[in-house]
Amino acid sequence: MEKKKEEKMKNEIKDEIINKIKKEIKKDDDSPGGLFIPAGVLGGIGFGFLFGNLVAGLFIGLGVGFTLFAVYEISRRSK
C-alpha cells in the first residue's frame, strides 16, 4: 500500500517537473515580434519618401515598429 502511494507521489512530481520544463520551453521560443521594428522602419522610409521628408518618416516608422513590438509581446506573454 505504501509503495503505491510513493509511486503515485513520484509520478506527480515527475509530471510537475515536466510541466515546468514545458512552460520554460514555451517562454523561450523564438518570437516574430522583432520583425515589427525593421518593417516599421522600412515602411516609414517609404512614407517619408512619398511625402518628401525621409528622416521624419524614418523616426515615425521606428516608433510604430517599437509600439507594435511592445503590444505583440505584452499580448503574447499575458496568455
pLDDT at 32: 80
What is the full per-residue pLDDT of the chain (79 aa) written as tens digits? Answer: 677 777 777 778 878 888 777 776 666 566 787 899 999 999 999 999 999 999 999 999 999 999 999 998 888 877 6
- Domain layout of the chain by residue ranges: 1-29, 31-79
- Which of these, 69, 67, 62, 70, lies nearest to 44 by C-alpha position? 62
Which residue type is seen at 6? E
Q: What is the pTM of this model?
A: 0.60
Residue with the three cell numbers 517609404: 46
Spatial distance between the Cα atoms of 17 and 57, rounded to a whole number of angstroms: 49
Residue 66: predicted pLDDT: 94
Q: In this structure, are residues 44 and 64 in contact, taking their beta carbons and an 8 Å threshold?
A: yes
Q: Are 51 and 57 in contact (CB under 8 A)?
A: yes
